[in-house]
Amino acid sequence: MILRTILFLTLMLFCCGAALAQRPGPQFWRKLGCEPFEPRTKLEAFEDSYGTVIIKGFTRITTIELRGVRIDAVEIRQTGITFLAKGIVVVLREGGERPNENRAFVDYEELDPLLNAIDVLARVDETTTKHPGFEARYLTKGDLELSVFRQTRSGTAVTLRTGLCDYATVTLTLDDLAKLKAMIQEAKTRLDDIR
């Protein structure tokens, strides 16, 4: 009888220990996915539509070349519905051994604030703050991030980043930032022409 009790308690100890070992501690908690549950832009909302025909028209901006950056003017609509979403898609491609490509959607309504932010970012320098180092950043709803910062010896640099978890980042100069602004402005003009 005592031997049975000891065996039973030992078996229970092993079973309970195994069950407790299966629960992850706080260090294992993480988000379930990198994509947000709800689309943050109108273009993303159409991109994830199911059970309907989506018509997408786009124009690739090719008048200006910027290494690692592609901009498309995009309009998306559903068949049978007059609702239209338009904006731009910014695609960044990192080079190297394992090339990485990621994109960000920017709705038409965000284009003017984005262009204004590029103007402000281009003017940020060491006179903007009393500290020797500086950084300025702008983020759109669709995860396009522009950052301007002081490099130690080379002056000011610009980075573009897209994505939530699997980022793609491209480093630019201030001259390249002006080219990016011209590409976005041209895409906006193309979208204005299709009204």
Per-residue pLDDT of the chain (195 residues; tens, 9 = 90+): 777 777 666 777 666 655 555 444 444 343 445 666 677 888 888 777 778 888 888 999 988 889 889 999 999 888 777 668 899 999 998 876 777 788 899 999 999 999 999 999 998 887 888 887 888 999 999 889 999 988 766 678 888 998 877 788 898 888 999 999 999 999 999 999 876
* CA 51 to chain CA mean position, Å: 26
> Would you state the pLDDT for residue 181?
94
Distance from C-alpha of 112 to C-alpha of 115, rounded to nearest angstrom: 5
Residues ≥6 apart with Cβ < 8 Å to 195: none
In this prediction the pTM is: 0.76
In this structure, the dihedral spanned by the alpha carbons of residues 111, 140, 55 and 190, taken in order and rounded to 10 degrees, is 20
> Would you state the pLDDT for residue 25?
42
Give the residue from 66, 64, 48 showing the smallest Cα distance to 105: 48
Domain borders along the chain are: 42-193
Q: What token pair was written down for 56?
A: 């997408």
> Would you state the pLDDT for residue 154?
64
- Please name the residue ranges forming H helices in the chain: 2-21, 42-47, 111-123, 174-193
Contact in structure between 90 and 102 (CB atoms under 8 Å): no
> Would you state the pLDDT for residue 43?
86
- Please name the residue ranges forming H helices in 22-166: 42-47, 111-123
Q: What token pair was written down for 141?
A: 């709803």
Facing residues of 88 across strands? 73, 106
Please give the CATH topology (third level) of the domain spanning 42-193.
Secreted effector protein pipB2 fold (3.30.2450)
Length of the chain: 195
Report how far apart, in Å, the C-alpha atoms of 81 and of each of 23, 52, 54, 57, 85 are.
48, 11, 10, 16, 11
